Amino acid sequence: MTLHLCTGCGQAYVTPPAFCRCGGSEFRAVEAAGRGQVYSCTILHAAAAAHEADLPFQIAIIELEEGARLTARITGPAVAIGDAVRLAGEREGVHFFTAATT
Amino acid sequence: MRSVSIVGMGKTPFGAFPDQSILDLAVGAGRKCLKDSNVAPSQVEAFYLGNFAGPSFVGQNHLAPYVAAGLGIDGAPATRFEAACASSGAAFFHAWMAIAGGMYDLVLVAGVEKMTSQPLARVTEILASAGDLGGEVKAGATFPAMFAMIAQRYMHQFGATREHLAAVAVKNHANGAKNPDAHLRKTITLEQALAGRPIADPLTIYDCSLVSDGAAAVLLAATERAGEFRKPIRVLGVAQASDRLALADKEDITTFPAVRAAARQAYAMAGAGPADIDIAELHDCFTIAEIIAMEDLGFVPRGEGGPATAAGFSALHGEKPINTSGGLKSKGHPVGATGVGQLCDLVLQLRCEAGERQVPSANVGLAQNLGGSGATCVVTILGR
């Protein structure tokens, strides 16, 4: 997956903002392996109309090794906080992660 | 900066009212407020309306002049404020500024939401639009899911339990049962709360606030004119703050920087601190949100909100009664009406008109109104 690093402070972003938290506004695109760990997660039993067909499903805030965080879907077995995960794919702008051991 | 007082209040009951339109609700609350303050619509110099998603829920846009006309407020500027669940808190903050800054003497602030005419999955979708549509919402996050992730992380860091979350629901239902205007007037047991239908783990249906219709209004006046009114209540401090919208963009999701910033400013303006607050209406959109708010407002140290609630600290006759109205959990959460609704409930307490749920020595009250997963917060401190 592509990450965007601030040329000023090195902060990594999944989507580059207009300005980095340090005030910098230049970003360098780098390819990342998509490895990280679960910062938090939940299994949904109710969803918005567009996602109801997928229930139940798990989402998680993933902290990538590069430091950037994103909200992603989990595929495969359920994960818990602290679990190592890896990118399993991307569909329509949504990142899917799975337990790193699978 | 001039001192400002609340000189009138009015609210509809919160609940599901299929026969009442958004206009009926807003005008109903506004009329009650004007009657309470004995003010004619022609005396109102400006109208500020908090509403989150009228255009999505009922299709009506340009809501502020629509409601102002319904109230007979002719020609005065009428403006809608949208800040998710803090919409009417934001409207109140800006109305306060207009009087404090000397622009007006008399301003009406209302909040309204008409939610129950849409099916639940659509309501969930409309509410989720207050999150980051390009990231978390696209991945399937709902507001219950975002607060579930906040709860998971909080429990992981501080060792809080599901019993701590459930204690908030049990307390707020007990209070709401005493409030004639509450949406759900029933007590629940800890066992019921723990066995509720799962929504987003660890949250059950009993950890989530209600989908409600309702409206609330307050009339603000320059304190130098407050003598013209019955039982004016002083605005001792008020502040609004913002934070990043997406949960994944926050460094620590177990605390809300916007709450801490707004509280710091409101306390400084009031010349008060957490220990000076007798009662509080906190934004319990989910049980975990009340626990974190207790900590961010300085009522208890970090990590102790859950145990303090379970020990009765925030109960109706506890050390610091929180959500004596029943809160969003039991009183109901018509999103755009919630901020001003909290202020109405504080005014009732400070006027000693809160009936069965009256706290005997309530002199200073605090309201905390949160938008989204913490991107907006308004903190208001009132005193008699």
pLDDT digits (tens, 9 = 90+) for A12-39: 999 888 999 899 999 999 999 999 999 9
pLDDT tier at A101, thresholds 50, 70, 90: confident
CA–CA gap between residue B107 and residue B103 (Å, rounded): 10
* pLDDT tens, position by position, A74-91: 999 999 999 999 999 999
Indicate the pTM of the whole model: 0.98
Say what the pLDDT of residue B150 is: 98
Check pLDDT > 90 for residue A102: no
Annotated catalytic sites of B, by residue? 85, 333
CA–CA gap between residue A77 and residue A5 (Å, rounded): 31
Residues of chain B with pLDDT under 50: none
Q: Cβ contact (<8 Å) for A45 and B197?
A: yes
Cis amide linkage into residue B334, ω under 30° from 0: no
* pLDDT tens, position by position, B227-255: 999 999 999 999 999 999 999 999 999 99
Q: Cβ contact (<8 Å) for B148 and A42?
A: yes
Does residue B288 sit at the A interface (CB-CB below 8 Å)? no
Per-residue tokens: B117: 């005419």
- The widest CA-to-CA distance across chain B, in whole angstroms, is 56
Q: Which residues from A are below 8 Å from B141, CB to CB?
A: 59, 71
* pLDDT tens, position by position, B123-164: 999 999 999 998 999 999 999 999 999 999 999 999 999 999
Q: Which residues from B are below 8 Å from A52, CB to CB?
A: 121
CA–CA gap between residue B358 and residue B323 (Å, rounded): 12
For chain A, give the mean pLDDT: 95
Q: Cβ contact (<8 Å) for A94 and B139?
A: yes
Per-residue tokens: B248: 């994944």
Say what the pLDDT of residue A21 is: 86
